[in-house]
């Protein structure tokens, strides 16, 4: 869209903000003909640094793992290639895990992108809508013959992140301030992220649990979701999984065909 006459300033001003190779826009100046390069650089710096800090706020464990210098260099590339499209900075950085996956210098940490995915899900859960979690009594009130048809409504904060690496353990070890012990990164781990009241919780799902939880969240009836989970993991245990999901606050309600 062409700007109206007299309103092209933003295009000229914006073009060089995230591109250090571009010259200071000619439309700006210092007072009394003074130069504007360092003056304009204040805006460049504010934009780049504040967006790097926004990524650091979303991904504290990633920063703790890589160290601040590595993180800021990686984040600077990302900020320049993927500036935010929303003024809500807690929404920023959705493409960062994919960026990390492809980032040349992060190839020795193949699990880092999944840790980032858990952090992104953590912040989504933090800001998700408020809803009372499903009471365990609601499930026990259902006649056994109808259990297989029960359909669960996911809580707005519920998220699942699957990883072929020990992403949950690595995440948990790097979100606090205590020194992380050596972790075997090679065990696949799936994360369940919930926020039943106001505290976000990240749990490690048991075998088949992620397939099961994702099936229920997508509207599959209990019986069908359990069958899919059993296909994926022969040692899947339905009783402990459904109890665990409800206890974690993964759902808000359920319909059993009787309601």
Interface residues with other proteins (CB under 8 A) are: 3-11, 13-14, 17-18, 26-32, 34-40, 42-43, 46-47, 50-51, 54, 83-90, 125-131, 156-157, 195, 198
Q: How far is the CB of 178 from other proteins (least distance, A)?
A: 20
Q: How far is the CB of 32 from other proteins (least distance, A)?
A: 7
Using an 8 Å Cβ cutoff, are 43 and 14 in contact? no
C-beta of 18 vs 230, nearer to other proteins: 18
C-beta of 46 vs 107, nearer to other proteins: 46
Q: How far is the CB of 193 from other proteins (least distance, A)?
A: 13
C-beta of 85 vs 140, nearer to other proteins: 85
56-82 in b/e burial notation, b at 16+ Cβ within 10 A? bebbebbbbbbeeebbbebbbebbeeb
Using an 8 Å Cβ cutoff, are 183 and 173 in contact? yes
Quote the tokens at residue 140: 């026990």
C-beta of 86 vs 108, nearer to other proteins: 86
Q: How far is the CB of 9 from other proteins (least distance, A)?
A: 5
Using an 8 Å Cβ cutoff, are 240 and 135 in contact? no
Q: How big is the chain by its Cα radius of gyration, in Å? A: 24
Neighbours of 238 (CB within 10 A): 17
At residue 232, φ and ψ (nearest 5 deg) are: -75, -40
C-beta of 198 vs 239, nearer to other proteins: 198
Q: How far apart are CA 212 and CA 216, in angstroms?
A: 6
Q: How far is the CB of 91 from other proteins (least distance, A)?
A: 9
C-beta of 94 vs 187, nearer to other proteins: 94
Q: How far is the CB of 55 from other proteins (least distance, A)?
A: 11
Quote the tokens at residue 38: 């360092």
Residue with tokens 């859960």: 125
Using an 8 Å Cβ cutoff, are 165 and 183 in contact? no
């Amino acid at each position: 869209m062409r700007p109206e006459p007299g309103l092209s300033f933003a295009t000229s001003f914006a073009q060089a903000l995230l591109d250090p190779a571009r010259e200071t826009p000619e439309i700006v100046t210092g007072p009394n003909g003074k130069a504007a390069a360092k003056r304009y650089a204040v805006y460049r710096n504010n934009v780049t640094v504040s967006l790097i800090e926004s990524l650091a706020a979303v991904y504290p464990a990633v920063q703790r793992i890589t160290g601040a210098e590595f993180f800021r260099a990686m984040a600077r590339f990302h900020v320049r290639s993927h500036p935010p499209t929303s003024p809500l900075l807690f929404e920023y950085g959705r493409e960062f895990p994919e960026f990390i996956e492809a980032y040349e210098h992060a190839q020795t940490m193949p699990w880092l992108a999944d840790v980032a995915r858990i952090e992104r899900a953590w912040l989504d859960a933090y800001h998700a809508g408020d809803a009372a979690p499903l009471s365990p009594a609601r499930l026990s009130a259902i006649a056994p013959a109808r259990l297989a048809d029960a359909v669960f409504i996911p809580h707005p904060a519920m998220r699942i992140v699957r990883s072929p690496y020990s992403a949950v353990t690595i995440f948990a070890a790097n979100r606090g301030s205590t020194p992380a012990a050596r972790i075997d990164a090679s065990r696949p781990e799936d994360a369940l992220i919930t926020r039943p009241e106001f505290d976000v919780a990240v749990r490690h799902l048991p075998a088949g649990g992620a397939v099961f939880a994702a099936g229920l969240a997508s509207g599959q009836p209990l019986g069908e979701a359990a069958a899919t989970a059993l296909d994926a993991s022969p040692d899947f245990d339905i009783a402990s999984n459904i109890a665990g999901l409800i206890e974690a606050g993964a759902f808000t309600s359920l319909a059993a065909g009787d309601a």
